[in-house]
Structure 1
Amino acid sequence: MKVLVVDDSKVARTIIRAVILDKHPDWSVTEAPNGAEALALASQEPFDIFSIDINMPGVDGFGLVEQLRAQGARGRMALFSANVQEPVRQRAADLGVAFISKPVTPVSVEALLAAVGHESP
């Protein structure tokens, strides 16, 4: 499995990477600090799973999901956010992506893996 972790927080990216590799040491995890870099990486190679922060400078997570799909990305996607209000959750649902609430912890990363179909909850 190839995972792309997109978050402007280095700490969040580090935690997500560590938990995924602890559970799946044979997986490949690539990090991007923003949407533009994520789009560039995804145009160069396919990813199976995308972990995307909603609140980032430049293109936000919702816009990134739309742009990734427009450029042909087929991986399973999940959005992370500390904003757990219903309109945010509904927009994620409308996009057909999982919504995972922050903070990023081992438990929330396990929820990410369950949401994209690679772990049992």
Structure 2
Amino acid sequence: LINIRDGGVNGVKLTWDECETQYEVERGVECYERQKSHAGAAAWNPLSVGIAYAMIDRITSDKVPLITVNHGRTDSTDGRVFPYVFPLLLNPYSETSGIVNYIAAKEGGIDKLKGKKIVVLYHGSPY
């Protein structure tokens, strides 16, 4: 739409490329290595927690912005930690904070959570 309606962004047409990773870290890394050779890459979005984690050192070295949407490292929220990682929307910290605040609201306030246990289950694999 942007290319057709507006002629791109400030006259620069948007292009993109895709590759199938099957949500496998090794395939994601290979995909990135293949695609980073395209001149003028604006950003890379693997749509995968495992692939994103595996790419942080590479994208920092290559200075290619990594976009993480609703996932990614909590410490990437502070741009000083990973200057080329851009967490859009949520990360584990904000998700957990939202859950606790929701439970607190249902219980009648944050003070009503005293003495209760809230468990956050971490699934530590790239699915």
TM superposition score category, shorter chain reference: 0.3 to 0.5
TM-score, structure 2 length as denominator?
Answer: 0.40
**Larger % of strand: which?**
1
Point out the structure with max Rg over C-alpha. 2
Report which structure shows greater RCO (CA 8 Å, sep ≥6). 1
